[in-house]
Homo-oligomer: A and B are copies of this chain.
Amino acid sequence: MRQGDKRQKILQAAIKVFARKGFFNSRISEIAKEAGVADGTIYLYFNNKYDILITIFEKEMGAIIQKVKSELAGIDDPRKKLERFAYLHLSLVEENRDLAEVIQVELRQSTKFMKEYRNKKFAEYVNIISGIVRGGQASGVFRQDVMPGIFKRAFFGALDEMSRFWILSPRKKYSIATAARQISSFFLEGILTDEARQSS
């Protein structure tokens, strides 16, 4: 067996089980069974149950960040970048439902996770958004009074809530593309009609 093959199997199994049951309701024995290894084997690769969770987050978030950054690198227009980010985020959630559920739940799960662990990967991901905003402000496409630190959270939150909805509901009313376009349009142009805009 290839080095790390078993480790990978355990991580995949954990994602499945954590997504299905939640971290606290998941049993090490269940992960072991799902991974096809013995309970004890897990402790050869991970320090404890919580360590598996952290590892999933670190590893997968790293991959996601890589992917999103490289995809966005080829786009110049900040507007397109934002819309693309929205599409990528929702697509990734769609393609990795289990992982998405784990990250979503555990991201809030324990204060411990968020407070102690001072989530660098998460910050890096969200900072892609503020980077886009700053770029757009520099090129005069985005308003100067937009505070990137607020925007990044608002934009991420919007996408994240949409994702949660999709994870919970088996069938979607809207396509990913539609949702991504709608959400970016909210943030880019707002929801006012032209008349309303002029009158304000």
A residues touching B (Cβ–Cβ < 8 Å)?
Answer: 19-22, 24-25, 79, 101, 104-105, 107-112, 114-115, 133, 136, 140-143, 146-147, 149-151, 153-162, 164-165, 168, 173-174, 178-179, 182-183, 185-193, 195-197, 200
Which listed residue, B104, B154, B164, touches A183 by the CB 8 Å rule?
B154
Q: Is the CB of B147 within 8 A of A182?
A: yes
Chain B residues within 8 Å of A165, by CB: 153
Shortest distance between the CB of A183 and any CB in chain B (Å): 5
Chain A to chain B: the 10 pairs with minimum beta-carbon distance, closest first: A157-B161, A154-B158, A190-B190, A189-B190, A24-B24, A157-B157, A157-B158, A22-B110, A141-B196, A153-B161
A111-B20 in contact given A153-B161, A182-B146 (Cβ < 8 Å): yes
Q: Is the CB of B191 within 8 A of A133?
A: yes
A108-B110 in contact given A154-B162, A155-B158, A162-B157 (Cβ < 8 Å): no
A174-B150 in contact given A79-B200, A196-B79, A197-B189 (Cβ < 8 Å): yes
Q: Is the CB of A143 within 8 A of B179?
A: no
Q: Is the CB of A150 within 8 A of B162?
A: yes
Which listed residue, B186, B188, B196, touches A154 by the CB 8 Å rule?
B186
CB nearest to A158 among chain B residues: B154
Q: Is the CB of B193 within 8 A of A190?
A: no
Q: Is the CB of A143 within 8 A of B191?
A: yes
Q: Is the CB of B182 within 8 A of A187?
A: no
Q: Is the CB of A108 within 8 A of B108?
A: yes
Chain B residues within 8 Å of A104, by CB: 108
Q: Is the CB of B200 within 8 A of A150?
A: no
Q: Is the CB of B153 within 8 A of A162?
A: yes
Q: Is the CB of B141 within 8 A of A193?
A: yes
Q: Is the CB of A187 within 8 A of B188?
A: no
Chain B residues within 8 Å of A157, by CB: 157-162, 164
